[in-house]
Amino acid sequence: MQTIETYNFKNKKALVRVDFNVPLDEQLNITDDTRIKAAIPTLKKILKDGGSVIIMSHLGRPKNIPEDKFSLKHIVPSLSKLLGVEVKFSNDCIGAATKVMSDALKPGEVLLLENLRFHAEETKGSVSFAKELASLGDVYVNDAFGTAHRAHASTTIVAQFFPHDKLFGYCMASELTSISNLFTNPKRPLTAILGGAKVSGKIAIIENLMDKVDNLIIGGGMAYTFIKAKGGNIGSSLVEEDKIETALNVIEAAKKKGVKLYIPTDTAIADAFNNDANKKFCAINEIPSGWLGLDIGPETEKEFAKVIESSGSILWNGPMGVFEMSNFEHGTKVVADAIVSATAKGAYSLVGGGDSVAAINKYNLADKVSYVSTGGGAMLEYIEGKELPGVKAIQEDVEKIIK
């Protein structure tokens, strides 16, 4: 398989799928350019080799027609600055005018195409649309891990038109490596910490992790369904009645497979879902009626931290409580600190999934863990053990994809 590091882009037009789905304010200024910055190493490598770049991305959720607020033209100034190259812009991502612009590109030049999702064909995965995109470049680079779980035209279908010239960009490659680092010969014990609101959102991950981890820590809103399953009183805490059976199955499976399952023993409770509500601590299976659990308690914090700090590898997805409220963030902060301290002692730690990334950033600890995945849904599906179409499309054998 080709890699971005070894591929020579000299005199090639590289068609690069990036994730420039950045937040814009009312005045259409970029409020967070992390995703643009993330693509720069890949783009610079191509330019340094003597290639030219044609960039494709989506932005926001347009309704399959052009809308100014979702135009990628708003990205041009920032991208030009970060690349140190005047970026050209095409008002469409396909069509005759776009083809003329891409044909005219010289080595060292960069062309940004308009939002792919102005065409319904993108998310439908249209082959003819993908073929038109493919006609613009000589080599296809996918550097958009965040959309790798979607079989869209630009993320998956387009790859078949580059049987010998398709590869991952640096971002995508490092996301994939960081996840496989965790599951291929991990330093043991391997501990997964799962939190967040619901069991239903995490069950596929739990099932897949059961064959891989030594320790499984469960916190956050989903823990109360486990406590109820075990016959505890959980007051008005978050619960999924239809997942009680699932929770019992998880407890059983952990026993069978020799996975040590850690469920909170105490909890911070409040008399309303509110930061300023009355707060106290109690055993997690003795929550009085009218009260609800919003964070793990001090005894649980200690136990979780001990397990985490003696781990060789760690995966963290989901907060331990309602960390957005300052009175109920303590458990999440303790877990984050324990991961940092384990990492300092040589553990490999991967933090991924929306809210745990938000938490690690809130405490300014992102550079103190081994890897923070920005993949969101794609990362979760990968951990669930699903094959991501965007990854498969690059890895797949030439023979299999040419029909």
Residues recognised as catalytic: 35, 198, 354, 377
Q: Of residues 66, 189, 201, 232, which one binds ligand AMP by CB under 6 A? A: 201
Query: Per rule CB under 6 A, is residue 322 in the interface with ligand AMP?
Result: yes
* Structure-block tokens of residue 309: 């700090």
- In one-letter notation, the amino acid at residue 377 is G
Q: Of residues 137, 220, 297, 390, which one binds ligand AMP by CB under 6 A? A: 220
Whether residue 225 contacts residue 403, with contact meaning beta carbons closer than 8 Å, is answered with no
Closest residue to ligand AMP, based on beta-carbon distance: 196
H or E element in which residue 395 lies: helix 389-395
d(CA 173, CA 35) in angstroms, rounded, equals 15
Q: Of residues 24, 76, 85, 197, which one binds ligand AMP by CB under 6 A? A: 197
In the complex with ligand AMP, which residue's Cβ is closer, 186 or 321? Answer: 321
SS3 241: helix
Q: Which residues contact 341 (CB under 8 A, 6 or more apart)?
A: 309
CB of 204 to ligand AMP, least distance (A): 13
Residues 293-312, mask of contacts with ligand AMP (x by CB under 6 A): xx------------------
CB of 2 to ligand AMP, least distance (A): 36
In 235-372, which ranges are continuous DSSP H helix?
Answer: 244-257, 298-309, 330-344, 354-362
* Structure-block tokens of residue 221: 């809103």
Q: Which residues pair with 13 in a beta bridge?
A: 52
CA 40 vs CA 16, 83, 142, 228, 320: distances in Å? 11, 7, 13, 49, 34
Q: What is the dihedral of CA 292, 363, 318, 286, to 10 degrees?
A: -20
Contact range with ligand AMP by CB under 6 A, out of 22-30, 36-44, 106-114, 313-321:
313-321
Query: Which 256-295 positions form the footprint of ligand AMP (CB under 6 A)?
Result: 293-294
SS3 333: helix
In the complex with ligand AMP, which residue's Cβ is closer, 88 or 198? Answer: 198
CB of 311 to ligand AMP, least distance (A): 21
Residues 141-180, mask of contacts with ligand AMP (x by CB under 6 A): ----------------------------------------
CB of 271 to ligand AMP, least distance (A): 14
d(CA 111, CA 86) in angstroms, rounded, equals 9
* Binding site residues, ligand AMP, CB under 6 A: 196-198, 201, 220-221, 238, 293-294, 318-319, 321-322, 324, 354-355
